[in-house]
């Protein structure tokens, strides 16, 4: 399985169910349920499959509107964040897609209601049927909820919301260690040597991996570089104190070992594989299907980093990486 490449592949899907994304309400989902909008799987079409309401469709589909107005659905993002772009996917909705969409946003501690003030972040515009509709978002706001408007009605298979999570600093106690490599704190992978079997973004997702596909796995290398690697932008500049490397479900394809390095970069810049990295943990052995804990092995002391690089020797799969430390005072 090769991973999908799209204009926002460097960003995470903030509406992802694994982060806690939800579809809260909608104006109408007579033909197909609103919850389908954020299903992780690509939409499918099953010829000849019908329900008592009509053709079964893998998406959110409202009935044909016979009065003025438009349909809408409200989503709670899995994490507050800044949005870079959307995919309003109408795959398999060939004769029943909306003509246009717009997207509004708000930042709210509670579910939106009739008093909520929405901000337009994607003005009303055309979308193509049976297509991936990639739409840039110029908003710099931090948002928790979205309302997608469908003009005048019809079906949308999936909504992907690409951006960067923003840490809720109020959640942490003074001096509390933070997982600097956790997606919900704002970390994100920026590049890797290979992700043939599964995405690099899985490495920093919540919880332990559910199966072998829920990790970062490279193909079998045949010569060339010494190891596979991944570069992660940390949630904040900080010092590293403890590390957990989890090879859950990787039994015949776990790496022989790993090492961890760090670097500090100016805001907005990302390091390369060959940048001047500082050792954080020297090469360590790994075992199959297990969590590995490192504290005394961390050699970087009080040095702070903006990015880390995990080297995986020689190849294989790692399910999760946790990097616990302290945010620097300058953050």
pTM, entire model: 0.91
| pLDDT in the model for residue 5 | 74
Burial of 118 (0-12, 13-18, 19+ CB in 10 A): middle
d(CA 148, CA 156): 10
Query: Which letter, b or e, does each residue of 170-191 get, where b requires 16 or more Cβ atoms within 10 Å of its Cβ?
Result: eeeeeeeebbbbbbbbbbbbeb
The stretches of the chain forming alpha helices (DSSP H) are none
Q: Where in the chain is the domain with CATH 2.60.120.260?
A: 12-165, 170-327
Residue 257 vs residues 61, 197, 203, 264: alpha-carbon distances, Å: 48, 19, 16, 24
Output the tens digit of pLDDT for each of the chain's 331 residues: 345 678 998 899 999 999 999 999 999 999 999 999 999 999 999 999 999 999 999 999 999 999 999 999 999 999 999 999 999 999 999 999 999 999 999 999 999 999 999 999 999 999 999 999 999 999 999 999 999 999 999 999 999 999 999 999 888 998 899 999 999 999 999 999 999 999 999 999 999 999 999 999 999 988 778 999 999 999 999 999 999 999 999 999 999 999 999 999 999 899 999 999 999 999 999 999 999 999 999 999 999 999 999 999 999 999 999 999 999 975 5
What is the CATH architecture assignment of 170-327?
Sandwich (2.60)
Q: Which CATH code, of 2.60.120.260, 3.40.30.10, 3.10.20.740, 1.10.540.10, is assigned to 12-165? A: 2.60.120.260
């Amino acid at each position: 399985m090769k991973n999908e490449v799209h204009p926002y592949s460097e960003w995470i899907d903030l509406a992802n169910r694994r982060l806690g994304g939800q579809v809260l309400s909608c104006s109408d989902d007579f033909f197909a349920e609103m919850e389908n909008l954020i299903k992780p799987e690509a939409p499918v079409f099953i010829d000849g499959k019908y329900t008592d309401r009509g053709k079964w469709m893998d998406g959110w589909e409202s009935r044909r509107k016979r009065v003025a107005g438009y349909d809408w659905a409200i989503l709670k993002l899995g994490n507050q964040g800044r949005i870079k772009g959307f995919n309003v996917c109408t795959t398999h909705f060939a004769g029943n897609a909306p003509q246009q969409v717009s997207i509004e946003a708000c930042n709210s501690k509670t579910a939106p209601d009739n008093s909520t003030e929405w901000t337009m972040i994607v003005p009303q515009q055309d979308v193509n049927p049976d297509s991936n509709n990639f739409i840039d978002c110029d908003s710099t706001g931090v948002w928790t909820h979205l309302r997608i408007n469908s003009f005048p009605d019809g079906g949308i298979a999936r909504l992907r919301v690409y951006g960067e999570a923003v840490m809720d600093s109020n959640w942490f106690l003074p001096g509390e260690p933070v997982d600097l490599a956790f997606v919900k704190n704002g970390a994100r992978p920026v590049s890797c040597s290979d992700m043939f079997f599964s995405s690099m973004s899985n490495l920093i997702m919540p919880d332990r991996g559910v199966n072998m596909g829920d990790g970062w796995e490279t193909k079998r290398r045949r010569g060339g570089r010494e190891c596979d690697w991944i570069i992660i932008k940390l949630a904040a500049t900080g010092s590293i104190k403890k590390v957990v490397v989890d090879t859950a479900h990787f039994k015949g394809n776990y790496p022989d070992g790993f090492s961890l390095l760090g670097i500090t970069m100016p805001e907005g810049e990302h390091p390369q594989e060959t940048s001047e990295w500082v050792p954080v943990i020297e090469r360590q052995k790994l075992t199959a299907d297990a969590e590995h804990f490192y504290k005394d092995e961390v050699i970087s002391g009080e040095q702070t980093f903006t990015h880390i690089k995990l080297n995986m020797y020689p190849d294989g799969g790692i399910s999760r990486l946790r990097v616990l430390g302290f945010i620097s005072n300058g953050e």
